[in-house]
Structure 1
Amino acid sequence: MTKVYKYYLIEDESKLELPAYIDQPEYVRNKSAGYSLQIVGWFMFMWLFMPVLTLFLWWFEGQTIYQQLVIQAQPNSPLSLINIVVMILSFIGLLLLWATYNWARFSGKDRRKTPVAVAVPQLASSFKVNTADIINMQQARNLTLYYNNKGFLEFFETNHQLKKRISA
Structure 2
Amino acid sequence: MTNVNKYYLIEDESKLELPEYIDRPEYVRNKSMGYSLQIVGWFIFMWLFMPVITMFFWWVEGKTIYQQMVIQAAPNSQLSLMNIIAMIAIFICVLLLWATYNWARFHGEDRRRAPLAIDEKQLASSFKVNTVDILNMQLAKNLTLYYDEQGKLEFFEVNHQLKKRISA
| TM-score calculated relative to the size of structure 1 | 0.66
Structure 2 unmatched ranges of 5 or more: 1-32
> What's the RMSD between the two structures over aligned residues?
2.7
1:47 corresponds in structure 2 to 47
CA contact (8 A) 2:144 2:156 kept: yes
Distance change (3 Å), C-alpha of 1:70 and 1:131: same
Letter in 2 for 1:131: T
Distance 2:127 2:41 in 1: 57
2:73 corresponds in structure 1 to 73
Distance change (3 Å), C-alpha of 1:118 and 1:58: farther
Report deviation, 1:134.
1.0
| TM-score calculated relative to the size of structure 2 | 0.66
1:111 corresponds in structure 2 to 111
Report deviation, 1:166.
2.5
Larger Rg computed on CA atoms:
2
2:135 corresponds in structure 1 to 135
Q: Which has the higher contact order (CA 8 A, sep 6+)?
A: 1
Secondary structure, counterpart of 1:151 in structure 2: coil
Letter in 1 for 2:97: L
Secondary structure, counterpart of 1:49 in structure 2: helix
- Counterpart check, 1:102 vs 2:111: no
Distance change (3 Å), C-alpha of 1:97 and 1:42: farther
Distance 1:90 1:135 in 2: 60
Letter in 1 for 2:77: S
Secondary structure, counterpart of 1:121 in structure 2: helix
- The share of aligned pairs that are identical, in percent, is 74
1:30 corresponds in structure 2 to none
Distance 1:150 1:38 in 2: 61
1:148 corresponds in structure 2 to 148
Distance 1:137 1:37 in 2: 58
Secondary structure, counterpart of 2:162 in structure 1: strand
